[in-house]
Structure 1
Amino acid sequence: MLDDWTRELAAALGVEMTAEVDTVLDLAGDAARAVLRPAAPVTTYLVGFAAARNGGDAAAVADAVATARALAAAWAERQQS
């Protein structure tokens, strides 16, 4: 059902889905655990926005996801100190 929804939403928005749904969900989980739950949708939105501004292809998505994951990990480590 989620894959169907994602395809239909992407088509309705006129965009190509260049990330796997699982990648987006994993990133949201990382942000929710490392920062706080409301960080999940904000993080995925900002990653999508950054990827679109940087070409919108799979490589731009991967770079933005990697940046967000690294920052979330660093954030969590700082909070534990």
Structure 2
Amino acid sequence: MLSAHQWLAEAAQLLDLPPEAARELTRELLDLTRKVAHNRSRPAAPLTAFLVGLASNDLSQARAHIATLSARLS
């Protein structure tokens, strides 16, 4: 079985993303999904991460979207 980091690196490669894309926002996304799961809905947590990715053109924009959603949950 692969570790999370190994899987994310493999997934990034398969999606033609640079490897740092898989590592750069890991902590921020996990923090966001934890907040969503505890303050809104468990099933909404991974879907929120999906929406962040869908709405983002690059890592800095993803970071801004994570900050916006995290602020709403605080």
Note the aligned Cα RMSD (angstroms): 1.5
Note if contact 1:3-1:21 (Cα within 8 Å) is conserved in structure 2. no
5+ residue gaps, structure 2: none
Once the two structures are TM-superposed, the CA of residue 39 in structure 1 deviates from its matched residue by: 1.3
Instruction: Normalising by structure 1, report the TM-score.
Output: 0.74
1:22 deviates by: 1.9
Alignment of 1:14-33 (within 5 A): 14-16=16-18, 17=21, 19-33=24-38
Q: Distance in 2 between matches of 1:4 and 1:26?
A: 20
User: Which residue number corresponds to residue 41 of structure 1?
Assistant: 46
Q: Percent identity?
A: 30
Return the TM-score normalized by structure 2: 0.80
Aligned counterparts of 1:31 and 1:70: Cα–Cα separation in 2: 11
Paired amino acid for 1:33: H
Q: What letter corresponds to residue 3 of structure 1 in structure 2?
A: H
- Structure 1: unaligned runs, 5 residues or longer: 74-81
Would you say the 8 A contact 2:32–2:70 is kept in 1?
A: yes
Q: Are the counterparts in 1 of residues 37 and 45 from structure 2 also a CA contact under 8 Å?
A: yes
Query: How many corresponding residue pairs?
Result: 69
Q: Given the alignment, which residue of 6, 9, 12 partners 2:11?
A: 9
